[in-house]
Amino acid sequence: IPAKIFKLNQVTSSLLILDLKLHPESNFKFIPGQYIDLSRSNIKRSYSIMSFDQQNKVLRLFIKNYIHGAMSQYLFEESKVGDLLVIFGPHGTFCFEDSERSSSNLFFATGTGIAPYVSILNDLEARNIEVSISLFWGNRYADEFLELPDFKSIDLKVYRALSQETKEGFYNGYIQDLF
């Protein structure tokens, strides 16, 4: 599926929110939690879908800059609004089954691995599913955290852990130790 870069939001020097605009006639559909393969020339990398605005046909990805990464180098240093890319997918079976929810759902994410959880949380909220979730989210530094929206139907408790710095309001260490 062809997609144009619609917006580039560099959150930090190592994190980017990338919005891709699909053709208005595109029938792209995904299950929250899935990923796509993003391609440019002979480079193809997988990224989890953070959100998809069906009405405006805008796909959002949360991307980490990997040193010497071919796609990272392009996205962080060379890309510009209007560039044409190709997406393949969606792929994957990582999703939240309504039938599997319990009274104490646990989500674990590090870094940009939060992206599929954001799509799952947004879907649960849109469907007004009442659920309780404890999210353990780890990053190296405090500026790598995104602001999560307020949810009405989800009782969300977020535990943020920092592995490379100490800062008030965050746990110090790794999420598995925090858990």
Enclosing H/E stretch for 134? strand 131-139
Q: What is the pLDDT of residues 11-26, one digit of tens each?
A: 998 999 999 999 999 9
User: Could you give the CA distance from residue 62 to residue 46 in angstroms, rounded to a whole number?
Assistant: 11
Question: Which residue shows structure tokens 């002979």?
Answer: 42
Give the pLDDT confidence score for residue 167 in this predicted structure: 95
50-72 residue pLDDT tens: 999 999 999 999 999 999 999 99
Give residue 101's pLDDT.
Answer: 79
What pLDDT is stored for residue 98 in this prediction? 84
pTM for the whole structure:
0.93
DSSP structure string for 41-72: TTEEEEEEEEEEETTTTEEEEEEE--TT-HHH
- What was the pLDDT predicted at 102? 77
Spans in the chain with pLDDT lower than 50:
none
pLDDT on residue 95:
93
Count of residues for the chain? 179
